[in-house]
């Protein structure tokens, strides 16, 4: 259930994300994020540039996972709950049966 306050926070977050992204791209030179220009073409330089982007993306996703996990745990404790891992959840019936009869969940 979303309240008006939460919708306002989401609008502010989107606004600051767009404005912040524009400011970051204006302040940080493109060579720092994407690597040096690849003209004339060099396979090694191209692989290096792609690996830089991949590394930055992986680090960003990992940090995002940690921040969301931390905020979720804070939310649960503020509501008076306790977060524990009990075990794995498995459905009663498999999603798919193979021709051999083996089921996959």
**Does residue 52 surpass a pLDDT of 90?**
no
On whether the CB atoms of residues 97 and 103 are closer than 8 A, the answer is: yes
Helix ranges (DSSP H) in the chain: 4-27, 30-34, 43-78
Give the Cα separation of 32 and 34 in Å (integer): 6
Mean pLDDT over residues 39-56, rounded?
85
Stated pTM of the model: 0.51
Query: Where are the chain's structural domains?
Result: 9-78
Mean pLDDT over residues 94-101, rounded?
83
Mean pLDDT value across the chain: 81
Reading the block at residue 70, the tokens are 């931390």
**Does residue 62 surpass a pLDDT of 90?**
yes
Write down the pLDDT at residue 8. Answer: 56
Give the Cα separation of 102 and 96 in Å (integer): 8
Reading the block at residue 67, the tokens are 């921040």
Distances in whole angstroms, Cα of residue 14 to Cα of each of 3, 7, 20, 21, 61: 17, 11, 10, 10, 18
**Does residue 1 surpass a pLDDT of 50?**
no
Give the Cα separation of 50 and 56 in Å (integer): 10
Write down the pLDDT at residue 85. Answer: 82
**Does residue 33 surpass a pLDDT of 80?**
no
């Amino acid at each position: 259930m979303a309240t008006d306050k939460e919708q306002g926070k989401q609008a502010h977050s989107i606004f600051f994300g767009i404005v912040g992204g524009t400011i970051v791209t204006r302040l940080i030179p493109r060579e720092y994020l994407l690597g040096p220009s690849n003209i004339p073409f060099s396979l090694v330089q191209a692989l290096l540039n792609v690996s830089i982007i991949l590394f930055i993306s992986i680090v960003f996703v990992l940090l995002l996972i940690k921040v969301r996990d931390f905020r979720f745990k804070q939310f649960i404790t503020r509501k008076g709950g306790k977060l524990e891992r009990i075990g794995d959840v498995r459905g009663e019936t498999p999603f798919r049966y193979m021709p051999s009869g083996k089921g996959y969940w």
